Structure 1
Amino acid sequence: MYKELNTFNNVIEYLSTDIRLLLSKLPKTFKENIEEIRLRNHKPLNLYIQGKNYFISKENTLTEDPKKAFIVNQQQINNTFQLITNHSVYAFSEEITNGFITICGGHRVGLGGKIVYGPKGIENIRNLSSLNIRIAREKKGISNHIISYLLNNEGEFHNTLIISPPQCGKTTLIRDIIRNLSDGYKTICRGFKISLIDERSEIGGVYNGIPQKDIGLRTDVLDGCLKSDGIMMAIRSLSPDIIAVDEIGGTRDVEAIDEALRAGIKFIATIHGHGLKDIYGKTNMRKLMREKIFKRYIILDRTRGVGTISAIIDGESLVTIYPKKGDKDEVY
């Protein structure tokens, strides 16, 4: 757990001094498991830990009572933002228009405030009212036991869709699958050329041009790129075996995926949802599912904690192949 503790200590270096000192005194077990740190102007300091929301008191104890909580003020938000941008807000102007900033380590800071529009769309976010620091935790090896389920008898990759509710570990899982596919895993899996379209900078966590997370030896990253644009760019110039994307669903995403499949490229993607029935209810996804484009569906939930793989389903037969064979998931 040393790595988890070190990750936490690196993240709080970006916080206003008084908040940093407050969090630094938390018990070790909480530091290792914090997923989000939320600062809201004139609201309690909010922590998200293992699926639960907590406040922190001035005595450094976690509480669910907002009356006992430490209250964040505007100056603390401003000071934190200056540290996040290294006192050069202009240098992060493009990221700010996307609503988040990626800091060293691949952690993402979501921004809340006054949205300023211009002729080309969002130009700035002013009068910051909230910051949400999402701690990107890398867990190597969590996909080792399922890699064989994602390959056919010839060792070729099956198009795979990871279905998960928010904050159930889909980004952590797809990152580790990409690493294994890119590096090659033992004798089970050869190394594939992968193009990662990392629109939100969450999977690779690119900072100053360098991925902060291990995404494998044969992975090219298009960071901060719209999925639909990145897929087409990868097809034209990167000659990938596999394209990886996070959170698909838009019409343009589906059209670009269709174009890549016609070029003979395999896909791994994630989508927010609560199972196959939920995904089938999304108009843009129905066509892909009817045509059985995805040969593997990985279903995540929290039944045994964050990142629980509740099932891997064969896309042709809709039979559960992991962990228990023979259970059919009725969809259509």
Structure 2
Amino acid sequence: MKITTIGIDLAKTVFQIHGVDSHGKTVLRKKLDRSRMLEFFIKLEPCLIGMEACGSAHYWARKLVEMGHTVKLMAPQFVKPYVKTNKNDVADAEAICEAVSRPNMRFVPIKTELQQAVLSLHRVRQGFVRARTAQCNQIRGLLSEFGVIIAPGRTSIAKRLPEIMERTDLPGSFRHLLQRLYDQLKGLDQQIDEMDANIEQWHRESEVSRKLTEIPGIGPITATALLASIGDAKNFKNGRQLAAWLGLVPRQHSSGGKSVLLGISKRGDTYLRTLLIHGARAVIRFADSKPSNCWINKLLARKNKNVAAVALANKNARIVWVLLTQQEQRFRPDYVPAVAA
């Protein structure tokens, strides 16, 4: 009995394993505790192992690769069609084992520890930003109950809140509560500034990240997030595949030879797509100061700003793919494609 392919249904403490031989016949069904995972696979002959790209998948993939196994990660939505019966651990492991052997299956690159460390900075920073926004909205909502209206935005709160806390027409207990909320808001600002400093330091140490910031609309935060998420850009066949992975291309609903294109698919990483679109909006804001023959100005002449922002984000994603796959290339603002020339 030689196991050639294994599917692992990952969990927090209990893992379900399904293995088949070279003829596709089931030869292994086993449930393992977390503590026995490495012990089991280190005794196993090297084989193909499939897992869903979920929590802790990249950690286990690195460990299994070190043992000599070939590990491939797949998006959960690509595994779901292979589930034959009701959802359970045994059926999921069998579906993963079946899906990983498909020749046209799409796989997720295994992230390194450095990539995951940088992405952790971004995720923690994103959580602090959300908490700060919620804090600002809570302060504005509480003040509105007392007839005090503050314009949206952190700047307005930081400017007006100190003087509001000095007002004698507000109850003392409420002013004390405002002080606590204001202190908490300043603490969140400090945490975000520290996260930004850590990201900026990693950005300065990475030559590739600095190269990406030469593209208008991409700053240190976007550049580091792209590098940590994409990894080896050669996993994508071309720039359009990268843009599609980010959800920046139209959805299709075509049939009978008739092509129907809808809005952008919004697939992939929401965080990366948001950064690229916000960066594109910043470029559009100052597009009027550019020459009249600028590509974005021509686009704005016939499309609204939101459509133009997505189009520019799509273009920037394709440029990123070129810069990552061709290390000698640098961004050239005056570059004209051969077809256009």
Q: Common fold, TM-score beyond 0.5?
A: no
Larger fraction in helix: 2
TM-score (norm 1): 0.29
* Higher strand content, 1 or 2: 1
